[in-house]
């Protein structure tokens, strides 16, 4: 069941996630199960809590050293008190971790649309000063780890509106 809540209400439900609002830039590094790097690219993420539309909306911009680029858009609904995605790329959820006494951890779980035997868990750790975060993705296929993604990001601006609609 989709909850009908505003972005202001979402920020109250998930205060840690609300601290992620804004523009983040960093590097994604992919590793196979043996620890060999298989990919690396730069990123810019816009994490929005818009006044209209979905309560949460994230857009990811990726750029590789060889000139390739990609944009992925993730508007989200709120289902049972957590962020939920169900689109052409992923189906999953995100939530603050209430057991984290330090209020630094957000957890995600998702599957790739059309690949039901592939799932991923992500943990996001936000620094106490809100200026950096690290993210770890554990990828499983047929219940076996096959890949990890390590992401290091720096906070660029709270003013995501001035970056909205621009390229990276």
Q: Using pLDDT thresholds of 50, 70 and 90, give the confidence band for residue 116.
A: confident
Secondary structure letter of residue 160 according to DSSP: G
Nearest 10 degrees: Cα torsion 161, 59, 128, 91: 140
For residues 68 and 61, is the Cβ–Cβ distance under 8 A? no
Interatomic CA distance for residues 68 and 88, integer angstroms: 21
Average pLDDT taken over every residue of the chain:
94
Interatomic CA distance for residues 124 and 111, integer angstroms: 17
Render pLDDT for 144-161 as a digit per residue (tens, 0 to 9): 999 999 999 999 999 999
Rg, the chain, Cα only: 16
Kindly state the percentage of the chain with pLDDT values over 90.
Answer: 80
- The answer as to CATH 3.30.70.100 being correct for domain 2-157 is no
| Residues shown for the chain | 168
Residue 45 pLDDT > 70, yes or no?
yes
Interatomic CA distance for residues 77 and 166, integer angstroms: 24
Interatomic CA distance for residues 54 and 136, integer angstroms: 26
């Amino acid at each position: 069941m989709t909850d009908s809540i505003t972005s202001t209400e979402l920020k109250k439900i998930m205060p840690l996630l609300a601290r992620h609002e804004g523009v983040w830039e960093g590097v994604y590094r992919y590793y196979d199960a043996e620890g060999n790097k298989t990919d690396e690219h730069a990123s810019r993420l816009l994490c929005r809590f818009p006044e209209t539309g979905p309560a949460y909306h994230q857009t990811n911009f990726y750029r590789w050293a060889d000139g390739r680029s990609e944009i992925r858009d993730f508007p989200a609904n709120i289902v049972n008190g957590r962020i939920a995605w169900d689109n052409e790329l992923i189906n999953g959820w995100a939530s603050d971790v209430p057991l984290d006494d330090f209020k630094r951890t957000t957890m995600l779980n998702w599957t790739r649309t059309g690949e039901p035997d592939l799932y991923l868990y992500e943990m996001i750790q936000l620094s106490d000063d809100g200026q950096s975060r690290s993210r770890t993705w554990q990828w499983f296929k047929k219940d076996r780890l096959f890949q990890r993604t390590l992401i290091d990001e720096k906070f660029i601006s709270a003013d995501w509106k001035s970056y909205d609609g621009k390229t990276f």
